[in-house]
Amino acid sequence: MITIENLREFGADVDTGVKRCLDDENFYIELVKSVIPDTRIDELEQCIKDKDLDKAFEVAHALKGMYGNMSLLPIYEPINQATEFLRSRKDVDYLSFINEAKAQKQKLIDMNNARK
Amino acid sequence: MEEETSFSKVGIRRLVLIVDDEHVNRRILGRIIEKEYDVIYAENGQEAYEQIKKRENTLSMILLDLIMPVMDGYQLMALLREDPKYSKIPVIVLTAERTAEAKSLQIGASDFIPKPYDMPEVILARVKRLIELAEDKTIISAIETDALTGLYTKEFFCQHAIIHDNYYPDMPMDAVVLNVNRFHLINELYGRLFGDKVISTIADQLKSIVSETDGIAGRAGSDSFFIYIRHNSDYSVLLDRIVNGLINGTGNSSINLRMGVYQNVDKNTDPEHRFDRAQFACNTIRSGYTNGFVLYDDTMYKRELYSNKLIDDMHVGVENRQFKVYYQPKFDIIGDKPVLRSAEALIRWDHPEYGMVPPGSFVPLFEENGLVQKLDRFVWEEAAAQAKRWKEKFGVTIPVSVNVSRLDIYDPELEKRLLSLVERNGIDPTDYVLEITESAYTDNSEQIIDTVNKLRAHGFRIEMDDFGAGYSSLNMVAALPIDALKLDTQLIRKIDESEKELRMVQLIIDIAGFMKISVIAEGVENEKQYQLLKEAGCSIIQGFYFSKPVLPEEFERLIEEKIRKTPERGTL
């Protein structure tokens, strides 16, 4: 279950995120839930596999903005690093960042599915 | 005071477009902005451009992400800068990139908001400030509000009416003009301070009315107000409210207001035009001693415009010979058969835009403003010259009669002018007949008797025109030096239907006969009227039954016919 406490435990900067939502915790949780069905981390992975770094940057940039605004730091951090490398089209191991982001996203999904 | 007339008071919420491909960002930003603004969204530059095109007049701000699919923020900005319709809409760039900030400002962004959105209050304040700045730039006005009332000045008011329409294009609106009757007298009688009190009390009423009715109010002149409000079908309530407010506020119930209302304005006309119409309706209220309102009537206004156009076009019309003199024959009906006796010169206007304009449309207008004198002199000249031409061509003199307007009587040069005219054209004054309208005699009898006596002494013959149309007095006929009475069409029209009318005409003819004044009947339209007039002893008739007014060439046929029948030379 996604709650303020669970998110805090997850490592999200809940205070900043809630503040951006004009201190409306429910609105913040609603937004966090809204990213669960988002499949763009998979899309990013595919772009990397296809070596389409331009498209990958566009997707990574959008994800960075989204997770950044909600301060979901465990997902934001690897995405942010990937974005910065993609900006200069560097040849690095993007999949390691993506796998980390996917693992963290899975935790969020599990949290949403859990009863508590 | 300014707050009273600000937009928010009249219920206009500004519209902000948020463009971001990321829904979470859109929602967070939307939350912040929608506290004070209406918000619409787009997911990319292309979608945004479509939205902007639909709302070019009402969009107050664009919040724009830079990196987006389909069309990015840079491309959209370039498109907007190209088009003057959109280039004035302020854009704030939303960016997480430090490097993008400078670039976005260079290509025309007004400001930027860094992502993530950590300071909601700052974002809102920036949006607000930029919207205000942009609007101040758009509405160029040195003085926005009137110092005494805090209402918009006229120019500023009109700008706001346009903005109001942009926001509410489908809202039916009324343009209202409110004037204080005899305001200069209020200032005179009660002092300037009281006058100011009257104006500011009315302004306070208007402010409270417009705050309830989605409208705006302005001060259009010293004693004049403009109100632009949602359509209202009953203005008596509104007027009563203002009047009562004025009485309560000033303790004086003798001040009267008049109101002109142009309902359901045509939004294709500019605001100045709409208020011209409301002002026109307001000006039709003549009484200064009651409170009242008049609704604008399109027909009335068009008639006024038409009259003004005729007045404006008159001088050019004379110069370009658009005015033509027609001649209507007068027939002597004493004998067995009617005999051509003389002609009346009548003016006609072949207007380049309106075609043939009947004299009834322009003569009364020109009488009001004195232009008729110029027209009269034109006819006098033409008629005299025509009489001269006929005399030369046929060897006979056809007496012509011309109209002399009331104003001509006051012309000190009248006698000299007419004498010179007949001399120049070689006409005997006895063949130049002056028709003076009956109402001129009631105006200033002494002056007219004096003038007419002098003219008769020179030999001119005088006919009293339109007898029976106004306040006729038989006593007047006895007192005035005239040669003939012309019975007005109105008297003649019903003689074949009503015994009463016929008897009246009979009586006038009898009295005129007793005084040795001949009687001319105008407007004879049928055989029966002709017979009745003949039997009643009328000596001369004029009217469509014999001939309508015709151009000189056509009139000549009548002269030729007459000469054939009575070949003796001389006067007809």
3-state helix, strand and coil shares in percent for chain A, rounded to the nearest 5 = 75, 0, 25
Task: Point out the residue among B23, B69, B115 whose CB comes nearest to the CB of A34.
Answer: B23
Quote the pLDDT of residue B387: 95
- Closest chain B residue by Cα to residue A68: B116
Q: Flag if B32 and A62 touch (Cβ within 8 Å).
A: no
B46 CB contacts (<8 Å, ≥6 apart)? B70, B71
- Closest chain B residue by Cα to residue A64: B96
How far apart CA A52 and CA B9 sit, in angstroms, is 54
Helix (H, G, I), strand (E, B) or coil at A3: coil
The pairing of beta strand B323-332 with beta strand B339-351: antiparallel
Quote the pLDDT of residue B494: 86
Q: Flag if B117 and A16 touch (Cβ within 8 Å).
A: no
Quote the pLDDT of residue B305: 86
Do the first three CATH levels of B152-296 and B323-560 match, i.e. the same topology? no
Number of Cβ atoms within 10 Å of the Cβ of A3: 13
Report whether pLDDT(B405) > 60.
yes
Q: Which residue has the tokens 């899975």?
A: A106
Under CATH, to which class is B2-138 assigned? alpha beta
CA distances (Å), B60 to each of B81, B105, B157, B360, B425, in order?
Answer: 16, 18, 19, 55, 76
Quote the pLDDT of residue B137: 66
Helix (H, G, I), strand (E, B) or coil at A102: helix
How far apart CA B272 and CA B264 sit, in angstroms, is 15
Average pLDDT over residues B432-453: 82
- Name the nearest CA neighbour of B364 among B373, B372, B356: B372
Q: CB of B228 within 8 A of CB of B214? A: no
The full set of domain ranges for chain B reads 2-138, 152-296, 323-560
| CATH architecture assigned to A4-113 | Up-down Bundle (1.20)
A74 CB contacts (<8 Å, ≥6 apart)? A10, A11, A12, A104, A107
Report whether pLDDT(B533) > 50.
yes
How far apart CA B135 and CA B126 sit, in angstroms, is 14
Q: What is the pLDDT of residues A90-113, one digit of tens each?
A: 889 999 999 999 999 999 999 999
Instruction: Name the average pLDDT for chain B.
Output: 88
d(CA A66, nearest CA chain B) in Å: 6
Number of Cβ atoms within 10 Å of the Cβ of B77: 21
Q: What is the pLDDT of residues B247-302, one digit of tens each?
A: 999 998 889 999 999 999 999 988 999 999 999 999 888 776 788 999 998 888 88
Task: Look at B572 and A65; give whichever has higher pLDDT.
Answer: A65
User: For residue B62, which phi and psi values (nearest 5 degrees)?
Assistant: -120, 125
How far apart CA B476 and CA B480 sit, in angstroms, is 6
B103 CB contacts (<8 Å, ≥6 apart)? B74
Rg (CA), chain B: 37
Report whether pLDDT(B367) > 90.
no
Q: Flag if B115 and A65 touch (Cβ within 8 Å).
A: yes
According to DSSP, the residues that pair with B18 across neighbouring strands are B41, B63
Quote the pLDDT of residue B218: 95
Q: Flag if A22 and B120 touch (Cβ within 8 Å).
A: yes
Q: Flag if B24 and A64 touch (Cβ within 8 Å).
A: no
Q: What is the pLDDT of residues B124-167, one digit of tens each?
A: 888 988 888 887 766 554 467 788 898 998 888 998 899 899 88
Helix (H, G, I), strand (E, B) or coil at B255: coil
Q: Chain A 74-93, CB below 8 Å of chain B: which residues? A: none
Q: Which two tokens stand for residue B378?
A: 């034109």
Task: Look at B367 and A50; give whichever has higher pLDDT.
Answer: A50
Quote the pLDDT of residue B9: 34
Q: Chain B 90-119, CB below 8 Å of chain A: which residues? A: 96, 115-118
The full set of domain ranges for chain A reads 4-113
Average pLDDT over residues A41-67: 92
d(CA A95, nearest CA chain B) in Å: 23
Quote the pLDDT of residue B8: 42
Task: Point out the residue among B23, B31, B120 whose CB comes nearest to the CB of A27.
Answer: B31
Average pLDDT over residues B470-495: 81
Any alpha helices (H) in B430-551, and if so which ranges?
438-443, 445-457, 474-479, 489-493, 499-514, 527-536
Helix (H, G, I), strand (E, B) or coil at B71: coil
Report whether pLDDT(A1) > 60.
yes
CATH number assigned to the domain covering B152-296: 3.30.70.270
Q: Flag if A20 and B67 touch (Cβ within 8 Å).
A: no
- Name the nearest CA neighbour of B402 among B376, B373, B368, B364: B376
A28 CB contacts (<8 Å, ≥6 apart)? A4, A14, A17, A18, A20, A21, A70
How far apart CA B206 and CA B200 sit, in angstroms, is 10
Q: Flag if B96 and A68 touch (Cβ within 8 Å).
A: yes
CATH number assigned to the domain covering B323-560: 3.20.20.450
Q: What is the pLDDT of residues B178-237, one digit of tens each?
A: 999 989 889 888 999 999 999 999 999 999 999 888 799 999 999 999 999 999 888 999
